Every structure is written in C-alpha cells, then in structure tokens.
C-alpha cells in the first residue's frame, strides 16, 4: 500500500541543535497514537538551507513548509494537516515563486548554493511513481494552461522567447525547431524525446526520468500541442530498466488521469506517447539515426536536409528534443519566458545539468545556471581535487568534447564560450582530470569509444577513427613516429569536416583539443618515450630501491622470472626480461618498487 | 522551374532550383568525383568523396545530397577540398587489398580511377585491413568482402530496384560488412543470381563465377565437339569491352572470334528464341482456349524463375512451361544436333555465351536436364568471353565477320529482340496473332511495350478478342506488376517479365561501365536495345514461324509445337522453394 | 530447437500478433528482437526466420539490425562465462595450455557454448592480475595460478553445483 503523506524533517546541524531529533520522536509517537504509521512516511533530509527558521518540517504532498516548529506543535500538525487535510497556516512559511522556493529549499549550502534546480526541480522531492505528488507541485498545470489559454503558435512563440536551446549538446534554439515543425502542413506529425543517453559516465537524463518522469511527459504534451503532433515517442536506452519502468507507470497514470489520450482535459487535443527501446548504439543519439532506429532499422544517420522537422519518423514532420530540454518546458510555460530568460548568459539561457565526475571531491549530478565559470563548478560545487593533487584538465562533452587546461577555467558555461576554447557543452558529462592522468591515454580512451560506436556508414568516420586510434595506440606504446602528430591533426580535421553526422564530426575533438592544450605530452611520448603521468604501461619501467628488505614477494609474483635476489637482500629487476606488467609493484608492501 | 543564381569556383551560373549541388554541377560540366552515388538509387551520402565547400558552412557538404539554393557559393576544386577528397579516397584504399594487378577488375575499377584522379601518389595512413573469407558458394556470383568499399550500391540495388533483399549491411563501424542474412553462403540465400550487384559494384567485391579456366582444358581436348551459342544481347554490348561506343552491333565479329577461339560450331540463341516463340505462342493460345491458367507469364529469365519460386509461388501455375532459349538450344544440341553429326551427346561441350550470371545457375538446374545431361555445360558471360578474346590476341574490332553455323544459326528479327525488355512479348504476339487469326500481323512493331518504363501495358485485338499484355523488367517492377494481378487476376492475358533492368541487355554479365559512363546507364541500355531493334529491322524474316530452319526442325524432329517430343525436351515445371529469407511486399526501403 | 521450445515460440508469436494489430508494425522490429532475446537468451537464426515470416521483414534486414546493436546476442551464452586471459604475462606462464585443457574438457572452441548451455568459453585481454598468472575469470571471479589440474577441478566443482 502506498503511503499518502510524507513528513520531511531537516536534520542539518542547526535544526538538530533546535531539537529536530526530538521532533522526529514526537511525530512518530503521535502517528502511532492515531494509528497513522502506515499512512505517513517520515524522511530525514540534509540541511534544507533555511537554518534561520529551524527546525524545518516539510509535509508532502502539498509541499507545505513549516518553520520554527516546537514539540507542542506536533499534535496540531498531525491532527489538522494529516487528518483534516488543512495545513496549519500559522506555522507555514509562505510559498512563493518556484525559483525562490528552490533557492530557499537548497539554501546556502555550498554544494547546492551555486546550483539552480529547474530541470531537477522535483528530483528527490516528489515520489516519481506518484502522479499525485507531481500534481501537488503544479504538475500538468502548464499543460492545462496551454490547452485553455494559449494557441499553439503562442506556445511556440513563448518557447522561442525563452531562449531555450537544445540540451542534447549542439544547442540549436528549441523555439526555432518547434517553429519549423509547426509550420509544416501535414495531418500527421510526431514529437520525440531523445533519452538515448550514451556518453560514458553521463546520467543526467536517467536521473531526470527516474526522479521526475511526468515533467518530461508534460513537456512532450505541450510540444505536441504546439507543433500539431498526435503522437510522441520516447526513445530510451534498454540499459535503463528503472527509468523505463517509471516512464511506463507515469504514462499509464497520465492516461488514467486524462493528461494523455483522446481530447485531453476536454480540449480538442489528443496525444499519446509510446516508449521505444534502443539496443545499445551510441550513434542513435544522433537524430536521424534515432529516427531510423524507431522505424526498426539499423541506426545509421542520413544526410540532412531534409531535416526531421520536414521529414522525420515515417517521413512525417517530427520534433526531436532531449530529456532535459523537455523537462524545461513546463517551467517555462508556468513561470514565463521572461523569467527563464533572466537566467543565464546573453545567448545561453536557463540552467544546465552536468554529471560531475573524475578526480574531484564532490561527484554527482549538478544543475547550474548558464554563465557560471568552470572554476566555480570545480572548486565551489565540486570541492576541488582530492589528495592534494594538481588539477590538470577538465573534459566536457564526453567523447564528442574536449579537454580544457587550467588557463580556460574562467570560461563561462555557455554554448559559444565552450566551443570557442575547443570543447563543447555536450549533453553534460564533466570529468575532472588531475596530474595522474595521461592526456594521450585519455584521448585514446575516448577515441576507442567513438571508433567502436561508429556506425560504419561514412568513410571518414569508419576508416579515419580507426587510423587515428592506431596512431594513438602506437604513441602510447612507445612506437610513435615523427610526423604522427601531423597525421593526427590532418585526419582529425578531415573527420570533423567531412563526416556525415555529429558523431563523426565531433569524434576527433578529444584528440585535437589535447593536441592543442597538451601537445608537449604527445611529444614526450613520441620523442622521449616517456609518460609523465606514469600511465602508459609499456613506457614505464620498474626499479627496486634501497627500501627493499628482501621479502621475495616481488620475485614470487613476477610472471617472467625477471627478478633476482635472495631472501633478506636487495632484489634486482632484469629489464630485458621485464614485461612491465606491474605485478611486482602491486605485490611490494614496502614501497620499494618505483615506476620509472 | 524557378531559376536561381549560384557561383561555382567563383564563376556565376544560373541553374534550376530544386536539385542537388551535384546535379547542378553535372549540367555545367563539373563532374565532381563520386563513389556511392548512383542516379537510379536512393541517396546514401556515405562515401563523402563528392564533398564540396559551401560558403558559410562550417563543414564540407556531400554534393550528391545537398540541395542548391539561391546565392550559394560553391567551391569544388580548392587545394583544401582536393586534399580532403584525396585523403578520403586514401582511407578507403587503406582498407582495400590493393592487389590491382591480380584483380579481375584491373583497369575497369572505379576505386582505381578515383585514386588516380584524386592524385594518390603517396600514402599516409596505412594500418590494419579487414579480413574475410571469399564466398565461392554461388554458381553465379562470387562475393569478396575484402574488396568492398561499403558504398552500399549493391545493397540499395538489391532492395530498391530488385526487391530481393538478399544483401544487407551487418555489424558496424570498422567491422561493417555487406553480407546475406546470417552471413550464410550466398547460394543458400534468397539471391536470384541476377548479378546486378556486380554491375553496380565499383570494385571487385562482386564478380561472376568465372568459368574460363575450366573451359580452356575442354577447348584443348580434341575428342570433344565444342559448340557455342550466343545470346542476342551479347552482340549488342560486347563492343563496349573493346572500347567501342554502346549500341554497336558486333554479331558477325563475335562468331568469327569464337571460331578463332576454337569452337567447332557457333550457333545462335536467337534461333532457339524463335523456337521458344513457337512453343510459347502455342501454349498461350491453348491457355486462351481454357487449357491452363491466365495470365501466362514468360519463363525465359533465370533470375526471375528463382524469384517466382521463392517469393511468388502462388503464380507458379501461370508460368509458361517453356524452357529458356538457352536451355532449348542446349536440349536441341544434345538431341537433334548430336544425332545429325552422329556424335554421342556426352562428347559435346555445350557452351553458352550469355549476358547473364543467373544462366550459370540455370544451366546446373536438375529440372532442365536432357537425358541425364545438362543442356549447357558451361555459361560464359559477355565479360568473360571478351577477356578470352583479348587473352587469345584476337583483333576483335577489325576481324572480318562470319555467319552462324547451320542448322541452328538462322534467326528471325523476333529472335533478336528477345534481348530487350518487351521483346519476347512482341515476338510472341507476332506469331500468336498469325497462329490465332490465320492472318499476318502487319504492324509488328508494338511501341507501347518498348522502352524503359518499369511496367508497360499494351493490347492487341485478335479476331475481335482483346488481348491485354503487360511487360515488367527488373524484379522490383515484377513484384509490383504481380501485386496488380493479385488484386485483379483478369487484368492481363499475357505477361513478360525479365529479371534485369532493361531486360537481357542490362544483364549481370555485361561489360563494366567505362571511365565515361555509369553502370546501368539508361542511355547505354537504350543504345543496346536499339542495336537489337536495328537487327530486327534489317531482317527480311521478322516473325519466328517464318524462319525456314525453325520450320525444318519441326518437320524433321519435333513434329509440331507442344508435341510429345517438344514437351519432353523443351518444356519443364518449376517448384516452390523455401528460401532462407523472406521478401517483404511493402517494406519501406531506407 | 524451436519445436522443443513451444511455449517460448507461442509467446513470441502472441507478442508479434499484438504488434501486428497496430499500424506500422514493422517498425517494432527492435522491440520484437528484445522480446525474443528475453525468451531465448539470444537471437537464433530460426527465431529470426520466424520473425521475418510473421512480420514480413527480409532476413538480411533483421540480420543487419541484430548485428548493429550491441545489446543483441547472436550466440547462446552459457550460465557461466569463462574468460581465459591471453595477456603477455599469462601467455608466458602457459595460458595456451590452460586454454587447451578447457577446450578438451568442455569439448568446445573459443566463442562457443556447451550443449547444456552451462559454459561459454572466451578469451580476454590482460585482466591486470599478472602476479597471479596464468589467470582466468569465470563470471566475475578471478582464478589465478592455474594449472591444468586445477582448471579441471574448478570446472568440475561448478558443474556439480549445477546438479
């Protein structure tokens, strides 16, 4: 049985000091007395950031925030709010604008402080499997509003005015895309939600869908109304079973409540959504490949034009946006384009979700306003580099993006600025690299990924990425040759400019950007056969230092018998027999073996 | 058509709107290098060889796919684009065996030409190459994925034009390969052996199963009688293999060359085409009188026969029981002719020189055996025979022509036009009309069923009875026509179907396109067809039943059309086949 | 195999029959392949033939789709996947001999699965545990310092667990 109410109690340091723990026991006790234990769930949350008004309670659904709650208030809250369903007005902190609400909820804690949650507004706050929860946070209000108050073209105008741009990576203005689809004269049109999130390490879309599936569905409904489509597809990776389950439930619930289906909310607008599963192909994130996949074909891109807005799925006009873009739509409708436009930079409005990972203290999903600097993300939100290591590079945009060195850290997050310094916004992968990372190796890692994911249709990408990978491999194995850097650059530029689709056109970015910003590392690998980060194993040697006590552990594990030495005396590695497997290094308990 | 202004290489031009950059450039005399593009097939945009620069565009655009627009500034030949194009061709070449001097397509290879014209003089990016086994299983087509450049022309042709769907791309990235379903042996697949994949392949990833090396020892065996027959459309195309313009008839030169190669007798498949008409026209008239199913559908095309058995078994009863002209000739050689020269049938080597790869498959079919022997021992394509002639040092272009041998060498004009789409129907109607009405059909050139339209219809009135006929060429068009018949079984009385686009003149064994032409070019097909129509016009006998040697063979051997003897050696029956693979009827092709 | 898997086949057929009721049913090929793999564990040629015939989609096309997407297995996988490391360290310590022993013991070649679908044999690149060479991995567990005798014992103990 699903619980109906939940009470979130803040157990941040201030609230704890103001007896929130005691509050929790009192609430439990009170619920027991009213035999409500099964009906009400108690959650604890980290600091909600409203420390001045602590202790804080949040009762959901409804999202009523109570401040300065005393033990004496508990009975009243339970009896009035939970049983009689009437919030206790005298304790409630008044709800206002969405923006402020979230800013207030997540207050001034550093991790959240620099963040601004629009896309992730409901994630972690509502029960994603409960349509009631969604409704309680003004869910489907945007849809109701457009159906009753706005003509389709007004909706298109509003989205245009908001300045929202595609969050899948390329940043095409969303409103223009809507307009192009809306103006096509065709009795059958489609909208698609691209949830084929494929960048290694990126999980923005998965989290959004798992945490708040209805906002995506509502966004699609609004989009369907605006462009005149009758059907939507959500193309999602089969590797996301929980997200798929949540979407299925959300679609069924929305249908049951009349937010999807025939004549939605009594209007003349009918709209349905179907889930289509991917099957493990990164290239299907490219829109024409995705369309082919929905049609049951190999996910191979085709040349554009014609663009999907003219000839998309089943050759019908089709509007494709990614998950994050769709999730922005209900907020833009409810709070207005003017408000949305006020966030961000001149050309990039709103927020962007990133999956922050790598050599950084606070990893996780963050949502920041456009215009924040990379430095602020890494040091204010991410908490900097752990273990006193030195920052080396920031990789954005995954296999399609680039690596930025220290000098670019004051770059502001927006589409143009990132492109200008040789990376891309991308779909939201953000990996911090420290001095222990070999830049040649990281470039090779990403190229291995794209080479493996190339669909094989166009020659520059199919053959070119293979050749680049071969060159990179030989460089990391100490077999790099004079001229290899030129070859990489020549191939990279060719693949960028001549490939058929975005995957190929961006595949060389990790290589070209590291060549630009970290060229000396390539040169060291090629000329000196040296890997300064000590990552490329064939370029490493092992040596036993004076610290050796002669325990023979290394000798025992050496697979080639390259280590000589008797018990309790210094051991020696025969470099001609050593295959640089590193087994001795792992085995030594005395830090006596050094990588050279 | 709206005109727009563009510039190409800084010079202004006015061109029609609504076309691609490549189309506009072609008309202005810029032939941008290309590989995966083919005018008869959908746009793939895969090879990227035809890239150009357009002002204001960050990336290069594939001119085959990108539309021109007003004010567009296009560069086709800057240093940058030349290097990019060169590098793309090198990338393709780097993953190619480069065994040009031992390759069947040496000198007639599009990749070789591209490498030359893009200025490939050095190599920069060599690395690992793909390794696949050659598929030698098919009796007609050899598949060598190592030579494949993944232009996808064969895949598109097999699906879009032929609707056979025997080939597809499998796997992805560097491992992408064009294969039949399940990577099964080609012979087990739905491949109809039409050989059009060979025609459109820019390299030697598809070639015919070559029988020349098996033929040579037989040619040297003096105990054997070597007999060749020559299909109509071979003479209309073989000149192209020697650098002559398409449409030059090389009939008598071919006969002379075959004699120089050592054949004891050179017969004309056009003779047996006349024989086919006698049988087929008679069979049609029987069916018209209620003895058998209508519409009757022709059975000359071997690829078409495999197609029917696999995909349209509901039409098997409609198929004429007549063997193809090649197999009829084979049967007559083993029986009538062997007896005439007092030789045992097994002491004759029966070689068919055909425009067709599927005939290699047909020759081995058990249904077509005559007294336990195949009518034809070996089928040699136009390409193979051209090579044999060159290899033997025969001066084909200047050789003095010679006539076919008696008694199987004389043919009517009707026999000649067998090689082009609509020809069999036209030939059959010339005879059927006369057999049915007893009067001579005066207007014998039936224009409605000539030409390269996919499905053509016509009608003839015989004694007040309207005979409705339809003609389709290319297996895709055939499927469309059959669907029409499924909807309205009484729509037509008689249907001609040829497996290849243009009929036999466009067969899978015809010479490769030269450096100035494209495979399956319509103009080229028309010229070859016109050569056959010219042969028809040049003859005084233009109706099969008036061929005196045909009259003689009935008198001496067969009796009359559809006699017991005729049935025994000139007719057959086909069975439904369950292929490993299914044809779609309405699947959209991408 | 199809004949003995009647129940699975019926379920697949029902699934396809449902899909065929909707328009543009051939566009659901990937969903059908997902279903087939869920039922059979992999996509066999006979199953793909069945799909081709029912959905009127050419087999070459289905093969193209099945091989394009990483998610689809074209060969059955066993309950346990054995990956023998053929990295340099393992190789010099006799990995080839280990591989031979397993092949002989299970009567399968690399890439194949035993008749009872219990073991699949694969080779792998360096597992990074060179100190234990020669090594193999069965599912997620690494077995090191292998000898032919030890390998046979491991296989036997897993097989017994099965019983």
Does residue A91 have a pLDDT over 80?
Answer: yes
Asked whether residue C88 carries a pLDDT value surpassing 90, the answer given is: no
Which CATH superfamily groups domain A5-95?
Glutaredoxin (3.40.30.10)
CA dihedral A135, A140, A141, A146 (to 10 degrees): -170
The residue ranking higher by pLDDT, C115 or A308, is A308
Asked if A191 and A269 touch (Cβ cutoff 8 Å), the reply is no
* Nearest-by-CA chain A residue for C37: A279
The side-by-side arrangement of strands in the sheet containing B494-498 is: B296-297, B494-498, B465-473, B455-462
Query: What is the C-alpha to C-alpha distance for residues C128 and C133, in angstroms, rounded to an integer?
Result: 10
Taking an 8 Å cut-off on Cβ atoms, the answer to whether A297 and C65 are in contact is: yes
B359 is a catalytic site residue: yes
Q: Which two tokens stand for residue C83?
A: 């990956």
Please state the domain count of chain C: 2
Q: What does the alpha-carbon distance between residue A68 and residue A54 come to, in Å, rounded to a whole number?
A: 5
For A213, the token pair is 């599936």
Q: Give the chain C residue nearest B176 (alpha carbons).
A: C68
Give me the DSSP letters along A35-95.
Answer: T-TTTEEEEEES--S-GGG-S-EEEETTTEEE-S--GGGHHHIIIIIIIS----TTTEEPP
CA torsion A436-A437-A440-A444 (nearest 10°) is: 140
Q: Do C64 and B170 touch (CB under 8 A)?
A: yes
Instruction: Indicate the pairing of strand B61-62 with strand A593-595.
Output: unpaired
* Contact criterion met (CB < 8 Å) for A296 and C29: yes
Would the pLDDT of A522 be above 60?
yes
Assign a CATH topology to domain B213-570.
Answer: Rossmann fold (3.40.50)
> Which among C45, C60, C66 is the top mutation candidate for probing chain B, defined by the most B β-carbons within 10 Å of its own β-carbon?
C60
Percent of residues, chain C, with pLDDT higher than 70: 96
Choice among B339, B367, B445, B556 that is catalytic: B367
CA distance readout (Å), A421 to A409, A506, A514, C100: 10, 14, 12, 54
| CATH code given to domain A351-434 | 3.10.20.600
pLDDT for A103: 44
Distance in Å, alpha carbon of C163 to nearest chain A alpha carbon: 32
Render the burial of B543-562: b for 16+ CB within 10 Å, e for the rest.
bbbbbebbeebbeebbeebb
What CA–CA distance (Å, rounded) separates C71 from C41?
Answer: 11
Looking at B282, B302, B320, B350, which residue is catalytic? B320
CA A233 – CA A225 distance, rounded (Å): 14
Low-confidence ranges of chain B (pLDDT < 50): 580-581, 584-590
pLDDT digits (tens, 9 = 90+) for A549-558: 999 999 988 9
Query: What are the DSSP calls for B491-508, one per residue?
Result: S-SEEEEESSTTGGGG-T
Whole-model pTM: value is: 0.88
Q: Which fold has domain A541-595?
A: Alpha-Beta Plaits (3.30.70)
Question: Please, which pLDDT band fits residue A48 given cuts at 50, 70 and 90?
Answer: low
* Catalytic residue chosen out of the listed positions B504, B524, B526, B544: B504
Please determine, for residue A68, whether its predicted confidence score (pLDDT) is greater than 90: no
Q: Can you tell me the distance from the alpha carbon of B478 to that of B194, in angstroms, rounded to the nearest whole number? A: 14
What is the residue extent of each domain of chain A?
Answer: 5-95, 131-339, 351-434, 439-528, 541-595
CATH class of the domain at A131-339: alpha beta
Interface contact flag, C56 B582, Cβ < 8 Å: yes
| Ranges of CATH 3.40.50.1780 domains, chain B | 213-570
Q: How many CB pairs under 8 A join A and C?
A: 81
Of B267, B478, B464, B456, which Cα lies nearest the Cα of B353?
B267
Residue of B240, B251, B362, B426 marked active site: B362
* Candidate from A47-56, B59-68, B307-316, C103-112 with smallest mean pLDDT: A47-56
Strand spans (E) along A337-428: 351-358, 364-369, 391-396, 402-405
User: In chain C, which residues have their Cβ closer than 8 Å to the Cβ of B159?
Assistant: 58
Residue span(s) of chain B under CATH 3.10.20.740 come to 3-77
Residue C156 belongs to some domain of the structure: yes
How far is the C-alpha of B49 from the C-alpha of A204, rounded, in Å? 38
Domain range enclosing C110 = 80-162
Report pLDDT for A46. 54
Residue A315 to residue A297: CA distance in whole angstroms: 14
At B225, which helix (H) or strand (E)?
strand B225-230
| Beta bridge partners of residue A31, listed in sequence order | none
Alpha-helical (H) ranges within A123-256 are: 131-136, 141-149, 152-162, 174-182, 204-211, 213-227, 241-256
Mark whether C62 and C85 lie in a shared domain: no
- Best B83, B87, B178 member to test A by mutation, with max A CBs in 10 Å, is B87
CATH of the domain at C129: 3.40.30.10
Q: Is B72 on the interface with A (CB under 8 A)?
A: no
Other beta carbons within 10 Å of A382? 27
Residue among B125, B152, B156, B589 with most chain A CBs within 10 A, to mutate: B125
Give the model's pLDDT for residue A104: 45
C87 contact residues in A (CB cutoff 8 A): 581
Beta carbons of A279 and C132 less than 8 Å apart: no
C-alpha torsion sign, points C81, C87, C92, C93: negative
Q: Are residues C88 and C153 in the same domain?
A: yes
Long-range CB contacts for residues B247-252, cutoff 8 Å, separation at least 24: B247/B524, B247/B527, B247/B528, B247/B530, B247/B531, B248/B531, B249/B531, B249/B534, B249/B535, B250/B396, B251/B401, B251/B535, B252/B401, B252/B402, B252/B403
Determine the Cα angle at A591 with ends A585 and A594, to 5°.
55
Nearest CA in chain A to C28: A296
Structural fold of domain B3-77:
Ubiquitin-like (UB roll) (3.10.20)
From C62's Cα to the closest Cα of chain A, the distance in A is 8
Ordered DSSP codes for C16-70: HHHHHTSTTGGGGHHHHHHHHHHHHSS--HHHHHHHHHHHT--HHHHHHHHHHST
**CATH fit for domain B94-208, picks 3.30.750.210, 3.30.70.20, 2.40.40.20, 3.20.20.150:** 3.30.70.20
Q: How far is CA A537 from the centre of its chain?
A: 32
Three-state SS letters, C64-133 = HHHHHCCCCCCCCCCCEEEEEECCHHHHHCCHHHHHHHHHHHHCCCCCCECCCCCEEEEEECCCCCHHHC
Q: Name the residue among A458, A467, A466, A502 with its Cα closest to residue B36.
A: A458
To test the contact with chain B by mutation, choose from A298, A463, A487 the residue with the greatest count of B C-beta atoms within 10 A, namely A463
Evaluate whether residue C57 is within a structural domain. Answer: yes
d(CA C28, CA C16): 9
Contact: A238, C71; criterion CB under 8 Å: yes
Q: Note the pLDDT tens digit of each residue in C28-46.
A: 999 999 999 999 989 999 9
| B280 is known as an active-site residue | yes
Contact with chain A for residue B91, Cβ under 8 A: yes
HSE value, Cβ hemisphere, 13 Å, CA-based, for B8: 22
How sure is the predictor about A105, in pLDDT bands with cuts at 50, 70 and 90? very low
Place of tokens 């060969």: C75
**What's the mean pLDDT when you consider all of chain A?**
89
Q: Give the one of C27, C34, C68 whose C-beta lies nearest to A298's C-beta.
A: C68
How far from A528 is each of A477, A478, A480, A536, C65, CA to CA, in Å? 12, 9, 10, 13, 46
Classify A374 as helix, strand or coil: helix
CB C136, CB C98: distance < 8 Å:
yes
Determine whether B148 is an active site residue. Answer: no
Torsion from C-alpha of A249, A250, A253, A257, nearest 10 degrees: -170
Alpha-carbon distance B97 to B83, whole Å?
23
Annotated catalytic, B515? no
| Same domain, residue pair C118 and C63 | no
Please report residues of A whose CB lies closer than 8 A to that of C129. Answer: 583
Which backbone phi and psi does B59 adopt, to 5 degrees?
-105, 170
Class of domain A439-528 as given by CATH: mainly alpha
Report percent pLDDT > 90 for chain A.
Answer: 60
**Across A464-468, B164-168, C143-147, least confident range:** C143-147
pLDDT at A190: 98
């Amino acid at each position: 049985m699903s619980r109906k109410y939940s009470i979130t109690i803040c157990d941040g340091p201030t609230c704890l000091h103001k007896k929130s723990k005691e509050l929790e026991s009192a609430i439990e006790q009170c619920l027991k007395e009213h035999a409500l234990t099964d009906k009400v769930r108690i959650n604890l949350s980290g600091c909600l950031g409203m420390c001045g008004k602590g202790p804080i309670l949040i009762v959901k659904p409804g999202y009523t925030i109570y401040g300065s709650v005393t033990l004496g208030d508990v009975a009243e809250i339970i009896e009035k709010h939970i049983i009689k369903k009437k919030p206790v007005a005298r304790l409630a902190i008044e709800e206002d604008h969405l923006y402020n609400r979230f800013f207030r909820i997540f207050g001034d804690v550093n991790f959240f402080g620099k963040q601004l949650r629009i896309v992730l507004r409901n994630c972690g706050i509502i029960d994603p499997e409960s349509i009631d929860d969604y409704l309680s946070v003004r869910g489907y209000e945007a849809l109701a509003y457009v159906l009753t108050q706005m003509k389709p073209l007004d909706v298109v105008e509003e989205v245009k005015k908001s300045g929202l741009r595609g969050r899948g990576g390329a940043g095409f203005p969303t409103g223009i895309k809507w307009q192009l689809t809306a103006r096509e004269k065709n009795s059958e049109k489609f909208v698609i939600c691209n949830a084929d999130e494929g960048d290694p390490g990126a999980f923005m879309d998965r989290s959004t869908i798992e945490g708040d599936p209805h906002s995506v569905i509502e966004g699609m409904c609004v989009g369907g109304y605006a462009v005149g489509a009758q059907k939507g597809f959500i193309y999602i990776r089969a590797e996301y079973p929980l997200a798929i389950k949540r979407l299925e439930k959300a679609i069924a619930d929305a249908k049951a409540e009349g937010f999807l289906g025939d004549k939605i909310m009594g209007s003349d607008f009918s709209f349905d959504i179907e889930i289509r599963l991917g099957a493990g192909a990164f290239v299907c994130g490219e829109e024409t490949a995705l369309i082919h996949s929905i049609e049951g074909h190999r996910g191979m891109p085709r040349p554009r034009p014609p663009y999907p807005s003219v000839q998309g799925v089943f050759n019908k006009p089709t509007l494709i946006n990614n998950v994050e873009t769709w999730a922005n739509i209900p907020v833009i409708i409810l709070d207005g384009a003017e408000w949305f436009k006020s966030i961000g930079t001149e050309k990039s409005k709103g927020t962007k979700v990133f999956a922050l990972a790598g050599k950084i203290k606070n990893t996780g999903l963050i949502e920041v306003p456009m215009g924040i600097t990379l430095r602020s993300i890494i040091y204010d939100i991410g908490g900097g580099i752990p273990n006193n290591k030195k920052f080396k590079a920031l990789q954005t945009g995954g296999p399609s993006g680039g690596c930025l060195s220290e000098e670019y850290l004051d770059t502001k997050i927006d589409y143009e600025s990132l492109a200008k310094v040789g990376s891309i916004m991308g779909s939201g992968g953000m990996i911090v690299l420290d001095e222990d990372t070999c830049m040649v190796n990281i470039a090779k890692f990403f190229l291995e990924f794209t080479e493996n994911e190339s669909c094989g249709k166009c020659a520059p990408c199919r053959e070119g990425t293979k050749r680049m990978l071969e060159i990179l491999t030989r460089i990391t194995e100490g077999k790099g040759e004079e001229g290899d850097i030129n070859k990489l650059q020549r191939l990279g530029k060719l693949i960028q400019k001549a490939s058929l689709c975005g995957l190929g056109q961006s595949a060389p970015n990790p290589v070209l950007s590291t060549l630009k910003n970290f060229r000396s590392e390539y040169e060291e690998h090629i000329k000196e056969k040296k890997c300064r980060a000590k990552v490329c194993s064939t370029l490493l040697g092992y040596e036993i230092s004076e610290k050796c006590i002669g325990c023979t552990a290394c000798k025992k594990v050496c697979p080639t018998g390259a280590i000589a030495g008797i018990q309790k005396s210094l051991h020696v590695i025969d470099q001609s027999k050593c295959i640089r497997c590193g087994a001795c290094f792992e085995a030594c308990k005395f830090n006596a073996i050094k990588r050279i | 058509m709206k005109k727009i202004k563009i510039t190409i290489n800084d010079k202004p031009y006015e061109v029609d709107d609504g076309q691609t950059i490549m189309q506009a450039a072609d008309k202005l005399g810029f032939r941008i290098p290309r590989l995966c593009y083919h005018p008869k097939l959908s746009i793939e945009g895969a090879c990227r060889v035809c890239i150009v620069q357009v002002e204001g565009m960050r990336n290069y655009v594939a001119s085959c796919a990108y539309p021109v627009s007003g004010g567009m500034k296009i560069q086709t030949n800057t240093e940058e684009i030349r290097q990019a194009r060169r590098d793309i061709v090198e990338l393709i070449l780097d993953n190619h065996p480069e065994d040009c001097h031992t390759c069947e397509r040496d000198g007639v290879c599009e990749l070789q030409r591209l490498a030359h014209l893009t200025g490939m003089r050095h190599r920069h990016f060599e690395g690992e190459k793909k390794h696949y086994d050659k598929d030698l299983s098919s009796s007609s087509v050899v598949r060598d994925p190592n030579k494949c450049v993944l232009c996808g022309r064969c895949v598109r042709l097999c699906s879009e034009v032929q609707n056979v769907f025997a080939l597809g791309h499998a796997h992805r990235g560097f491992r992408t390969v064009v294969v039949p379903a399940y990577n099964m042996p080609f012979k087990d697949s739905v491949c109809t052996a039409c050989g059009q994949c060979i025609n459109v392949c820019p390299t030697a990833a598809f070639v015919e199963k070559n029988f020349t090396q098996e033929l040579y020892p037989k040619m040297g065996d003096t105990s054997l009688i070597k007999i060749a027959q020559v299909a109509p459309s071979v003479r209309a195309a073989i000149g192209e293999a020697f650098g002559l313009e398409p449409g030059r008839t090389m009939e008598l030169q071919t006969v002379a060359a075959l004699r120089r190669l050592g054949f004891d007798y050179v017969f004309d498949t056009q003779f047996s085409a006349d024989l086919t008409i006698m049988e087929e026209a008679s069979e049609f008239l029987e069916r018209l009188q209620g003895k058998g199913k209508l519409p009757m559908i022709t059975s000359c095309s071997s690829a078409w026969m495999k197609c029917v058995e696999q995909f349209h078994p509901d039409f098997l009863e409609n198929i004429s029981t007549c063997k193809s002209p090649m197999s009829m000739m084979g049967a007559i050689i083993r029986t009538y002719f062997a007896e005439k020269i007092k030789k045992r049938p097994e002491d004759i080597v029966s070689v068919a020189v055909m425009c067709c790869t599927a005939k290699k498959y047909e020759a081995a079919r058990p249904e077509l055996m005559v007294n336990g022997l195949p009518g034809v021992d070996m089928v040699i394509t136009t390409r193979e025979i051209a090579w044999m002639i060159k290899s033997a040092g025969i001066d084909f272009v200047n050789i003095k022509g010679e006539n076919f041998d008696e008694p199987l060498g004389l043919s009517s004009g009707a026999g000649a036009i067998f090689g082009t789409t609509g020809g069999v129907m036209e030939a059959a109607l010339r005879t059927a009309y006369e057999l049915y009405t007893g009067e001579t059909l005066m207007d014998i050139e039936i224009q409605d069923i000539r030409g390269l339209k996919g499905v053509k219809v016509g009608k003839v009135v015989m004694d007040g009875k309207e005979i409705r006929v339809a003609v389709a060429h290319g297996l895709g068009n055939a499927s469309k026509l059959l669907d029409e018949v499924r909807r309205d079984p009484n729509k037509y009385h008689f249907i001609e179907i040829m497996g290849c686009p243009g009929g036999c003149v466009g067969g899978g064994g015809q010479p490769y396109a030269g450096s100035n032409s494209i495979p399956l070019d319509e103009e080229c097909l028309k010229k070859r067809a016109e050569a056959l129509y010219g042969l028809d016009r040049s003859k005084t006998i233009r109706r099969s039943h008036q061929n005196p040697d045909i009259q003689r063979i009935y008198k001496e051997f067969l009796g009359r059309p559809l006699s017991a003897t005729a049935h025994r050696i000139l007719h057959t029956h086909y069975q439904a086949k369950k292929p490993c693979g299914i044809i779609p009827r309405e699947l959209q092709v991408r | 195999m199809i004949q003995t898997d009647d129940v699975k086949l019926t379920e697949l057929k029902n699934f396809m029959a449902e899909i065929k009721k909707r328009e543009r049913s051939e566009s659901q090929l990937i969903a059908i392949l997902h279903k087939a793999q869920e039922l059979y564990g992999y996509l066999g040629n006979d199953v793909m033939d069945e799909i081709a015939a029912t959905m009127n989609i050419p087999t070459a096309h289905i093969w193209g789709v099945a091989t394009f997407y990483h998610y689809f297995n074209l060969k059955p996988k066993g309950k346990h996947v054995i990956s023998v490391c053929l990295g340099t360290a393992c190789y010099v310590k006799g990995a080839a001999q280990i591989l031979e022993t397993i092949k002989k013991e299970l009567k399968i070649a690399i890439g194949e699965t035993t008749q009872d679908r219990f073991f699949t044999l694969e080779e792998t690149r360096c597992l990074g545990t060179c100190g234990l060479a020669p090594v193999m991995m069965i599912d997620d567990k690494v077995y090191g310092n292998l000898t032919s005798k030890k390998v046979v014992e491991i296989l036997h103990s897993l097989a017994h667990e099965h019983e």
